[in-house]
Structure 1
Amino acid sequence: MTDTPARWRARLEPLAIFAALFLLWELAVRWFALPSWLLPAPSEILATARDWAPELAANALVTLRETVTGFALAVAISVPLAVLIAFTRVLRRVLYPILLGLQSVPKVALAPLVTLWLGVGEAPKVVIVVLVCFFPVLVNMIAGLEAAPRNMVDLMRSVEASRWQVFRRLRLPFALPHIFTGCKVAVTFAVIGSVIAEFVAAQSGLGYLILMSTSQSLTPLAFAAILLLTLMSVLLFYLIEWAERRAVTWHM
């Protein structure tokens, strides 16, 4: 109970900083009389978000669906592949350099090609998200599986523990923090990947809404969409963090 005020202070301080920044933004726009097409005030952005709420919500759901689907597929592919690479020397020598090379290719350059191959539906957006999210999860998973102390591994093998028991009881618990670190990085990249793909070719989504609004000088609407993307990224990050706490508690 004694640390409750400190906990509340830690939660409220970031909100106070954000509120102060938005207030400075509002005052600067009004002081310099900036036109809304150049830089809208936060109050105007909120008013536009209220007026365009149905359109913003519909397009946010599209982007969220693409983001979550691509992220889930990336995790489903990268986790078992990381296990194979971590425990198979041949695959590590052959696959790892190939995957590193693929990761080095700019995803912005791949987005038009993926759209050309798969069309303008949600499929190319999901593929881009998978490509963006795949490597952070893979690398952190491999690092986590190799983080178990060698002497503890040897100790378990000395009592004739099976490879599955070593994996389940030792390697996986040590790997969990690394896995969730990769997931937290990847889920923020996932939102970026969705927007990149929507910039290339889309008929819906927040990225499409940003392009449409900027082409018509509806800058407050573009800022409202950007604000929604930011909130989406933050909420997904904290959702992964919540899942991490539950998983660590379960393994303890």
Structure 2
Amino acid sequence: MTELRAQAVDPPTIRPTLVRAASRRLGAGSATVGLPLLGVVVALTVWWLVTSVFQLIHPASLPPPQDVFRSLTEYWPLLLRSTGATTLSTVVGFLLSTVAGVLIGLALAASRRVERMFSPLLVAINAVPKIALGPLLVVSLGWGQKPILTMVFLLCFFPIVLSTVTGLTTTPADLAELARSLNASWWQAFRKVRFPAALPQIFVGLKVAMPLAAIGAVIGEFQAGEAGLGYQILQFNGVGDYPTSWAAIVLIAAMSIGLYFALVLVERLALPWVRATTSSR
């Protein structure tokens, strides 16, 4: 009886299936971590070969990675504080852009007349080179956080507006018909159908905007900063310390990667049904 119960609970045909499933999960997890690390190793190797072995690029343009790493360790406290300042500006500016971009997108999606009235203006604002506005922002807003946050906002709000409008105006026909058949009010249809259906598209705009927010923060620090990685790049370039400037650039890249994947994690936690209802390669 004990043997029959054991076979019923754990038949021999189940064990290979469980092993294969566990192996696939382990392989997927290893690939998620291992492949990005492999990419970093390849990039560092190419960087080292180009700058140290073959010396194809002048050190003033691109210092060897070992010099950049030496500067990173030497100025680590200063660069760490600067990374915190740039990260704060990036996140605050991104959140402000998200709130304003979604609200503007809601207004444009709610009325065809409003969309036709203001869409050309938004396109014109987005087309203006933002770096040209830097001196004007300093004159009007002064030094410090205000012009930096404004630069972040100007760079990354347009993709959020565009993705919000696209998501809200492309509700699947079957879902819209279901809401009408249930006699849902406008608010009920928006809250239960249109906005949830638009969230995947909105997150596309957010993921486009996040790296732009980091770019905007650095440009703002170039123009009006008193701290931050952009400010340190200007300072170290001014004294000819190019490895330390590149150390700051590396930290900007690392910060952008971290913020982007934090946003991807938020998307997966907020929209678990997207991965379950869409196919992947």
For Structure 1 versus Structure 2, the TM-score category normalised by the shorter chain is: over 0.9
Match status 1:186 vs 2:209: yes
Shift of 1:118: 0.3
2-structure distance, mates of 1:39, 1:105: 30
Structure 2: gaps of 5 or more residues: 1-21, 277-281
Q: For structure 1, which segment, 200-209 or 136-145, has the greater mean C-alpha deviation from structure 2 after superposition?
A: 200-209
Q: Structure 1, residues 105-126: CA drift from partner, whole Å, max 9, x if none?
A: 1111111111110011111000
Over the matched positions of the two proteins, sequence identity in percent amounts to 35
Amino acid at match of 1:12: G
Partner SS, residue 2 of structure 1: helix
Verify the 8 A CA contact 2:147 2:224 in the aligned structure 1: no
Structure 2 residue aligned with 1:60: 83
Verify the 8 A CA contact 2:69 2:247 in the aligned structure 1: yes
Shift of 1:151: 4.0
TM-score where L is the length of structure 1: 0.93
Seen in structure 2, the aligned counterparts of structure 1 residues 150 and 123 have a Cα distance that, compared at 3 Å, is same
2-structure distance, mates of 1:83, 1:153: 17
Q: Structure 1, residues 17-69: CA drift from partner, whole Å, max 9, x if none?
A: 32122123224433246775453221221111111011101111111111111
Partner SS, residue 120 of structure 1: coil
Shift of 1:150: 2.8
Verify the 8 A CA contact 2:171 2:197 in the aligned structure 1: yes
Alignment of 1:229-248 (within 5 A): 229-248=252-271
Structure 2 residue aligned with 1:5: 27
Structure 2 residue aligned with 1:109: 132
1-structure distance, mates of 2:36, 2:90: 26
Amino acid at match of 1:165: Q
Verify the 8 A CA contact 2:233 2:245 in the aligned structure 1: yes
Structure 1 residue aligned with 2:162: 139
Alignment of 1:145-184 (within 5 A): 145-184=168-207
1-structure distance, mates of 2:35, 2:43: 12
Shift of 1:172: 1.5
Match status 1:70 vs 2:93: yes
Q: For structure 1, which segment, 13-22 or 40-49, has the greater mean C-alpha deviation from structure 2 after superposition?
A: 13-22
Shift of 1:99: 1.2
Structure 1: gaps of 5 or more residues: none
Match status 1:122 vs 2:148: no
TM-score where L is the length of structure 2: 0.84
- C-alpha root-mean-square deviation of aligned residues, in Å? 1.9
Verify the 8 A CA contact 2:148 2:224 in the aligned structure 1: no
Structure 2 residue aligned with 1:26: 48
Q: For structure 1, which segment, 139-148 or 17-26, has the greater mean C-alpha deviation from structure 2 after superposition?
A: 17-26
1-structure distance, mates of 2:32, 2:92: 33
Q: Structure 1, residues 159-191: CA drift from partner, whole Å, max 9, x if none?
A: 210111211221112111111111111110000
Partner SS, residue 87 of structure 2: helix
Structure 2 residue aligned with 1:222: 245
Q: How many equivalent pairs are there?
A: 252
Partner SS, residue 161 of structure 1: coil
